Chains A and B, each alone.
Chain A
Amino acid sequence: AQSVTQLGSHVSVSEGALVLLRCNYSSSVPPYLFWYVQYPNQGLQLLLKYTTGATLVKGINGFEAEFKKSETSFHLTKPSAHMSDAAEYFCAVSEGSSYKLIFGSGTRLLVRP
């Protein structure tokens, strides 16, 4: 069965600093991978997704993620953090044709002024 591990329940960065949120997955088949963001009192919004093709995926708000099969990783990065990036971020893996999306436990990003 697929699973997702997000290292670090909280990540704190200074405004303008690099953002790196870690995600590792386990899957017996080629995975579909997603990053979602959740702002307070809101639902989740898709940041980006990897299905097939280019391993470096660009998303909204300047975020990108790289699929590394050898490391079973899909880390999320942004070169320069903005105060508005403060939110909860979830990595997720799709369980193939079962219509099921498995979420990691989430990482709260704090941005210091």
Chain B
Amino acid sequence: DTAVSQTPKYLVTQMGNDKSIKCEQNLGHDTMYWYKQDSKKFLKIMFSYNNKELIINETVPNRFSPKSPDKAHLNLHINSLELGDSAVYFCASSQQGSYNSPLHFGNGTRLTVT
């Protein structure tokens, strides 16, 4: 059983389109995250939800909107896609926040905007 699963694995789309990435975890964790990994492998946190409540919202354009229907799911919707949004997006989860327990990552969604 996959602990943190993301769909789709690859996403190729044109500028201006709207797309969503879905994430589900079956670990029973309280906290979920979205990270962005750029072409130089640099990882930066975007959002974090704890028990469906937004607790971290980094300086991300408001075209990015996370949604957590329940604590096992955290989806990412992106409006009006731009070339600079091309990256690998990772979903992750942890119990009781990352300062106390490690993150479990999904395998990533490679987004290519043309």
B42 and A44: CB pair below 8 A? no
Contacts A44-B103, A44-B105, A51-B100; is A101 near B45 (CB within 8 Å)? yes
Q: Which residue of B lies closest to A47 (CB)?
A: B102
- CA distance in complex: A90, B68 (Å): 28
Chain B residue total in the interface (Cβ 8 A)? 27
A105 and B42: CB pair below 8 A? yes
Whether A43 is near chain B, meaning CB under 8 Å from some CB there, is: yes
- CA distance in complex: A90, B43 (Å): 9
Whether B31 is near chain A, meaning CB under 8 Å from some CB there, is: yes
B102 and A46: CB pair below 8 A? yes
B40 and A105: CB pair below 8 A? yes
B107 and A99: CB pair below 8 A? no
Main secondary structure, interface of A, reads strand
Whether A12 is near chain B, meaning CB under 8 Å from some CB there, is: no
Q: Of residues A44, A90, A100, A103, which shows the largest number of chain B Cβ atoms within 10 Å of its Cβ?
A: A44
Interface with A: B12-20, B48-56, B59-67, B70-78, which one?
B48-56
- CA distance in complex: A45, B105 (Å): 7
A106 and B41: CB pair below 8 A? yes
- CA distance in complex: A16, B91 (Å): 35
B41 and A105: CB pair below 8 A? yes
CB-defined contacts of A70 to chain B, threshold 8 Å = none
A99 and B48: CB pair below 8 A? yes
- CA distance in complex: A36, B92 (Å): 13
Whether B90 is near chain A, meaning CB under 8 Å from some CB there, is: yes
B105 and A97: CB pair below 8 A? no
Per-position binary interface string of chain A over residues 88-113, scored 1 when its CB falls under 8 Å from any chain B CB and 0 otherwise: 10100011111111110110100000
- B residues apposed to A, CB below 8 Å: 4, 31, 33, 40-45, 48, 50, 55-56, 90, 92, 94, 97-100, 102-108
- A residues apposed to B, CB below 8 Å: 32, 34, 36, 38, 41-46, 49, 51, 88, 90, 94-103, 105-106, 108
Which 6 residue pairs are nearest across A and B when measured between Cβ atoms? A43-B105, A99-B97, A94-B99, A103-B43, A46-B102, A101-B98
